[in-house]
């Protein structure tokens, strides 16, 4: 049994579900531009319709209520609210999120609002994007406006979702929008995304001290393939860039010296100005953790390529460590090619609890993509996903029992949706979506999760 008050949630992001890309004055985002370019998205897919949540949000909130969710984590679309990323705000865009929040509250579902899940207004990218310091300031202004409009009914806020992805997949590998392959620019982007978090925290805190505000990071335990010096150094490098660069900044107010040394050939770090790290480490109320898998790495010459290759042609996101290979550790994999390793969640929760200042923790994303199909009887049977979530929730329970301040879990994702560069070919949802008809069908994982929530815990190991 989980403690009374444990948060049972599911998560989505605006660009992946909303559609309606030109409705009510919404501006253009970097993902709109990216999807329009040949070869960027598997199958040439785009998010013009996605799962039509903009028009079907009431139906979707009813699904959440049927699941028994106590919380729903969603993001707002920056270009829907502020079409050019600066200047005028769209009243219609803000009104959509007010309607969504009111609908959630009418069912007793707590709204958890994420301010940025990668859909930067194209106008800001044209002005330099995240490698430009000014984008951080624009984000703080945006955060303050959304908070002023919704802070009376939304208590839980997070700033930037997975800054690692936005910086290094967007500006180094080019796998994500805006599709640039500029390692030095990616490093500046990573810092400015961190700075945007800190500036937004300050802006929101000044408006309402009662709001609960957190940062959100995607973490991976990193294991050397062997005990060799090269493999150990590879693990140090990848852990530094994936985990410590962001955790240390948010929770300690510093960047790891070894990581800066690894990257010194790219920059003299002049973009890190006096006071930046203190701003980034502005006190927060919680840390949101996204966890999916473990990395096993090798620094040997000619090391194995990543077992989970990018969906389309791309460079390496591992700036300064492009030589590192990613080795298949021999574990079962999801349809994304990601290894299933619930023990890695235990490892990262313990590490964060032991190595950083104590702070409430939430699993803000955890889930798996599998090749789901609707059976002849109209049901979707997904036992692998049930087993995945069950195993990770058992780790969560054990963590709580051991004294780790873990207070909630959000499954990724509530519904099948647009999976970024993978298009519609990968399904993470608890709810199956027929993309032709937009019909929603609860998978067996949704029914299992609803039963778990109803009982406040796990009744027996999933089969």
3-state secondary structure of 285: coil
Of 18, 149, 365, 419, the catalytic one is: 365
Of 103, 125, 162, 339, the catalytic one is: 162
Quickly list H helices, 26-121.
30-35, 53-67, 78-81, 91-106
**What beta strand segments (E) does 85-147 contain?**
110-116
Residue 463: pLDDT over 70: no
State residue 194's pLDDT score.
Answer: 99
For residue 302, name the pLDDT band (cuts at 50, 70, 90). confident
CB within 8 Å of 437: residues ≥ 6 apart:
none
Residue 18 a catalytic site member: no
Residue 252: pLDDT over 80: yes
Residue 423: pLDDT over 90: yes
The 3-class secondary structure across 239-271, one letter per residue, is HHHHHHHHHHHHHHCCCCHHHHHHCCCCCCCCC
**What beta strand segments (E) does 366-413 contain?**
406-412
Residue-level length of the chain: 463
Tokens coding 177: 């929008």
Please, are residues 168 and 220 in contact by the beta-carbon 8 Å criterion?
A: no
How high does pLDDT run on average in the chain? 97
Residue 59 a catalytic site member: no
Tell me the pLDDT tens digit for each residue of 91-117: 999 999 999 999 999 999 999 999 999
State residue 336's pLDDT score.
Answer: 97
For residue 51, name the pLDDT band (cuts at 50, 70, 90). very high
For residue 109, CA distances in Å to 61, 102, 324, 363 come to 9, 10, 44, 17
3-state secondary structure of 350: helix
Q: What does the alpha-carbon distance between residue 63 and residue 446 come to, in Å, rounded to a whole number? A: 10
The mean pLDDT of 361-369, rounded to a whole number, is 98
Tokens coding 434: 């027929």
Residue 462: pLDDT over 80: no
Tokens coding 164: 């690692």
The mean pLDDT of 420-441, rounded to a whole number, is 98
Q: What does the alpha-carbon distance between residue 175 and residue 37 come to, in Å, rounded to a whole number? A: 12
Tell me the pLDDT tens digit for each residue of 309-340: 789 989 999 999 999 999 999 999 999 999 99
Q: What does the alpha-carbon distance between residue 206 and residue 112 come to, in Å, rounded to a whole number? A: 19
3-state secondary structure of 172: coil
Query: Is residue 213 within a helix (H) or strand (E), and if so which, with residue range?
Result: strand 212-219
Rounded to whole angstroms, the maximal C-alpha distance in the chain is 63
CB within 8 Å of 126: residues ≥ 6 apart:
none
State residue 149's pLDDT score.
Answer: 98
445 strand-pairing partners: none
- Window from 327-331, 373-377, 415-419 with minimum mean pLDDT: 327-331
Pairing label, strands 361-365, 325-326: unpaired
* Report field, pTM of the whole predicted structure over 0.85: yes
Residue 52: pLDDT over 70: yes
Please, are residues 345 and 291 in contact by the beta-carbon 8 Å criterion?
A: yes
């Amino acid at each position: 049994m989980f403690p009374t008050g444990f948060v049972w949630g599911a998560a989505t992001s605006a660009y992946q579900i909303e559609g309606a890309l030109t409705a009510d004055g919404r501006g253009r985002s970097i993902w709109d531009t990216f999807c329009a370019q040949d070869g960027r998205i598997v199958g040439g897919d785009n998010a013009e319709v996605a799962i039509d949540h903009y028009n079907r949000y009431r139906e979707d909130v009813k699904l959440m209520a049927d699941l028994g969710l106590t919380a729903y984590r969603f993001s707002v679309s920056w270009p829907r609210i502020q079409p050019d990323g600066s200047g005028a705000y769209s009243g219609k865009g803000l009104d959509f999120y007010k309607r969504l929040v009111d609908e959630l509250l009418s069912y007793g579902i707590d709204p958890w609002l994420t301010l940025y899940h990668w859909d930067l207004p194209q106008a800001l990218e044209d002005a330099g994007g995240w490698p430009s310091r000014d984008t951080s300031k624009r984000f703080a202004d945006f955060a303050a406006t959304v908070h002023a409009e919704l802070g009376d009914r939304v208590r839980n806020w997070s700033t930037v979702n997975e800054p690692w992805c936005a910086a290094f997949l967007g500006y180094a590998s080019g796998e994500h929008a805006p599709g640039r392959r500029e390692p030095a620019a990616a490093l500046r982007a990573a810092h400015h995304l961190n700075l945007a978090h800190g500036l937004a925290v300050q802006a929101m805190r000044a408006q309402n001290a009662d709001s609960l505000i957190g940062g959100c990071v995607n973490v991976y335990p990193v294991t050397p393939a062997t005990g060799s010096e090269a493999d150990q150094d590879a693990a140090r490098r990848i852990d530094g860039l994936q985990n410590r660069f962001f955790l240390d900044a948010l929770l300690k107010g510093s960047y790891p010296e070894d990581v800066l040394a690894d990257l010194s050939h790219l920059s003299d770090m002049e973009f890190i100005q006096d006071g930046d790290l203190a701003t980034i480490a502005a006190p927060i109320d919680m840390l949101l953790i996204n966890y999916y898998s473990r990395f096993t790495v090798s620094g040997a010459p000619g090391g194995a390529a990543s077992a989970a290759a990018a969906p389309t042609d791309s460079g390496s996101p591992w700036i300064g460590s492009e030589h590192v290979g990613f080795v298949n550790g021999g574990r079962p994999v999801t349809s994304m090619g990601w290894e299933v390793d619930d023990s890695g969640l235990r490892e990262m929760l313990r590490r964060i609890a032991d190595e950083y200042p104590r702070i409430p923790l939430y699993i803000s994303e955890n889930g798996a993509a599998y090749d789901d199909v609707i059976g002849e009887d109209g049901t979707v049977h997904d036992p692998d996903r049930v087993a995945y979530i069950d195993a990770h929730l058992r780790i969560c329970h054990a963590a709580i029992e051991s004294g780790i301040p873990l207070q909630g879990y959000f499954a990724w994702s509530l519904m099948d949706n647009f999976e970024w560069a993978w298009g519609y070919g990968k399904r993470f949802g608890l709810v199956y979506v027929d993309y032709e008809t937009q019909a929603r069908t609860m998978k067996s994982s949704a029914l299992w999760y609803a039963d778990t929530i109803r009982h406040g815990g796990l009744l027996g190991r999933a089969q």
